[in-house]
């Protein structure tokens, strides 16, 4: 199976990279300095857009094939909430971090 890396985001503090891929259901969290995988988070089919909150405490993931925004705590890397949204969410912005 091949996975197309569709979105990557470096955290505001430049310590982590978040990578999603449209042929998967995962967000990979990578340590920028060592380039080692910290955690793989299953979020649902078709993760696409990624955005952090301005204070870097939350990672928002839009998941196109299940029409949800997944909210992940960036300290624990645990999903806090799944929010249903309209059909095929494609872009996401957070307050103060467009």
Residue 44 lies in a domain: yes
- Show the domain range for 71: 5-84
Please identify which residue in the block is written with the tokens 């197309």: 4
Please tell me the total count of domains within the chain: 1
Does position 88 have pLDDT exceeding 90, yes or no? no
Does position 58 have pLDDT exceeding 50, yes or no? yes
Q: Which tens digits make up the pLDDT trace of 13-26?
A: 889 999 987 778 99
> How far is Cα 34 from Cα 43, in angstroms, rounded to an integer?
24
Please report the pLDDT score of residue 3 as a whole number: 46
Residue 68 lies in a domain: yes
Residue 52, φ and ψ in degrees, nearest 5: -105, 160
Residue 98 lies in a domain: no
Q: Which tens digits make up the pLDDT trace of 63-78?
A: 988 899 999 999 999 9
> How far is Cα 96 from Cα 55, in angstroms, rounded to an integer?
10
């Amino acid at each position: 199976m091949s996975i197309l890396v569709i979105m990557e985001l470096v955290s505001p503090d430049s310590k982590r990279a978040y990578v999603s891929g449209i042929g998967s259901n995962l967000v990979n969290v990578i340590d920028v300095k060592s380039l080692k995988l910290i955690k793989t988070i299953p979020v649902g089919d078709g993760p696409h857009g990624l955005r952090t909150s301005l204070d870097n405490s939350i990672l928002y993931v839009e998941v196109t094939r299940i029409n949800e925004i997944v909210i992940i705590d960036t300290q624990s890397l645990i999903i806090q909430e799944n929010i249903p949204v309209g059909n095929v969410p494609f872009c996401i912005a957070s307050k103060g971090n467009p």
